[in-house]
Structure 1
Amino acid sequence: MEIWSIVMVLMFVAPLSLQASSFPKSTLNIDCGATRKTTDDNHTFVIWETDEDYIKTGQNEFLVITNASFYPMKTLRSFPRGSKNCYNLLLIAQTKYLLRAGFYYGNYDNNFKPPTFVLEVDGKLNVTVTTSLSDDPVYHEFIFFVEKENVDVCLTRTQEDHVPFISTIESNALYDSYKLMENHTALYLERRINYGANKTFPERLSIFADEYNRIWTPEEIPSYRSLTPGFDVSSTGWVFTDNLPPYAVLYYAIEAHNSSESLFLPVTFQEKKPQLSAYFVFYFASFVYNPNVTSRTVAIYIDGQQKNITEIPSWYEKIFPVVSIYPVNVTNGMVNVTISAVEGSPLPPLLCAMEVFTAYEVSKASHVIHFVNFSLVLVYFLVLSLSGSGL
Structure 2
Amino acid sequence: MARYNILPLISFISFFTLVVLLVQAQDQSGFVSIDCGIPEDSSYNDETTDIKYISDAAFVESGTIHSTDSTFQTTSLEKQFQNVRSFTEGKRNCYDVQPPQGKGFKYLIRTRFMYGNYDNLGKAPEFDIYLGVNLWDSVLIDNATIIVTKEIIHTLSSDHVHVCLVDKDKGTPFLSVLELRLLKSDTYETPYDSLMLFKRWDLGGLGDLPIRYKDDVYDRIWIPLRFPNYKIFNASFTIDSNTNNGFQPARLVMNTATSPEDSSQDILFYWEPQDPT
Structure 1 length as normaliser, TM-score? 0.57
2:258 paired with 1:254: yes
What is the CA distance between 1:227 and its match in structure 2?
A: 1.8
CA distance in 1, matches of 2:256, 2:33: 28
Q: Is the 8 A contact 1:239 1:247 kept in 2?
A: no
Q: Equivalent residues in 2 for 1:25-44 (5 A)?
A: 26-35=30-39, 36-40=42-46, 42-44=47-49
What is the CA distance between 1:69 and its match in structure 2?
A: 1.7
User: Structure 2 counterpart of 1:173, which letter?
Assistant: L
Q: Which residue of 1 aligns with 2:203?
A: 195
CA distances 1:288-337 after superposition (whole Å, capped 9, x unpaired): xxxxxxxxxxxxxxxxxxxxxxxxxxxxxxxxxxxxxxxxxxxxxxxxxx
Q: Is the 8 A contact 1:118 1:156 kept in 2?
A: yes
User: Structure 2 counterpart of 1:69, which letter?
Assistant: L
What is the CA distance between 1:75 and its match in structure 2?
A: 0.7
Secondary structure of the structure 1 residue equivalent to 2:227: coil
What is the CA distance between 1:147 and its match in structure 2?
A: 1.2
Q: Which residue of 2 aligns with 1:133?
A: 143
Secondary structure of the structure 2 residue equivalent to 1:268: coil
CA distance in 2, matches of 1:28, 1:212: 12
Q: Which residue of 1 aligns with 2:268?
A: 265
2:247 paired with 1:243: yes
Q: Is the 8 A contact 1:43 1:205 kept in 2?
A: no
> For this pair of structures, how many residues does the alignment match?
241
User: Structure 1 counterpart of 2:34, which letter?
Assistant: I
Q: 1:238 to 1:154 in 2, by over 3 A?
A: farther
Q: Equivalent residues in 2 for 1:1-391 (5 A)?
A: 26-35=30-39, 36-40=42-46, 42-63=47-68, 64-66=70-72, 67=74, 69-91=77-99, 92-159=102-169, 162-182=171-191, 184-198=192-206, 200-207=207-214, 209-228=215-234, 240=243, 241-257=245-261, 260-273=263-276
CA distance in 2, matches of 1:115, 1:89: 25
CA distances 1:177-224 after superposition (whole Å, capped 9, x unpaired): 434323x421110110000014x34314333x2111111010011132
Q: 1:45 to 1:94 in 2, by over 3 A?
A: same
User: Structure 2 counterpart of 1:206, which letter?
Assistant: Y
Q: Is the 8 A contact 2:213 2:220 kept in 1?
A: no
Q: Is the 8 A contact 2:117 2:144 kept in 1?
A: no
CA distance in 1, matches of 2:146, 2:210: 12
Q: Is the 8 A contact 1:210 1:237 kept in 2?
A: no
Q: Which residue of 2 aligns with 1:353?
A: none
Q: Is the 8 A contact 2:213 2:219 kept in 1?
A: yes
CA distance in 1, matches of 2:135, 2:247: 22
Secondary structure of the structure 2 residue equivalent to 1:149: coil
Q: Is the 8 A contact 1:31 1:169 kept in 2?
A: yes
CA distance in 1, matches of 2:135, 2:153: 10
CA distance in 2, matches of 1:227, 1:220: 12
Identity level (%): 25
For the pair shown, which has the larger CA radius of gyration, 1 or 2? 1
CA distance in 1, matches of 2:258, 2:67: 41
CA distance in 2, matches of 1:242, 1:261: 34
Q: Is the 8 A contact 1:237 1:248 kept in 2?
A: no
Task: Report 1 or 2 for greater relative contact order, CA contacts < 8 Å, sequence distance ≥ 6.
Answer: 2
Q: Which residue of 2 aligns with 1:355?
A: none
What is the CA distance between 1:266 and its match in structure 2?
A: 2.5
CA distances 1:95-117 after superposition (whole Å, capped 9, x unpaired): 11100100000111111100000
| 5+ residue gaps, structure 1 | 1-24, 275-391
What is the CA distance between 1:270 and its match in structure 2?
A: 4.1
Q: Which residue of 2 aligns with 1:358?
A: none
What is the CA distance between 1:238 and its match in structure 2?
A: 5.4
CA distance in 1, matches of 2:251, 2:242: 6
Q: 1:179 to 1:138 in 2, by over 3 A?
A: closer
Secondary structure of the structure 2 residue equivalent to 1:147: coil
Q: Which moved more, 1:169-178 or 1:98-107?
A: 169-178
Q: 1:238 to 1:167 in 2, by over 3 A?
A: farther
What is the CA distance between 1:173 and its match in structure 2?
A: 1.1
CA distance in 1, matches of 2:113, 2:234: 32
Secondary structure of the structure 2 residue equivalent to 1:72: helix
Higher helix share: 1
Q: Is the 8 A contact 2:260 2:267 kept in 1?
A: no
| 5+ residue gaps, structure 2 | 1-28
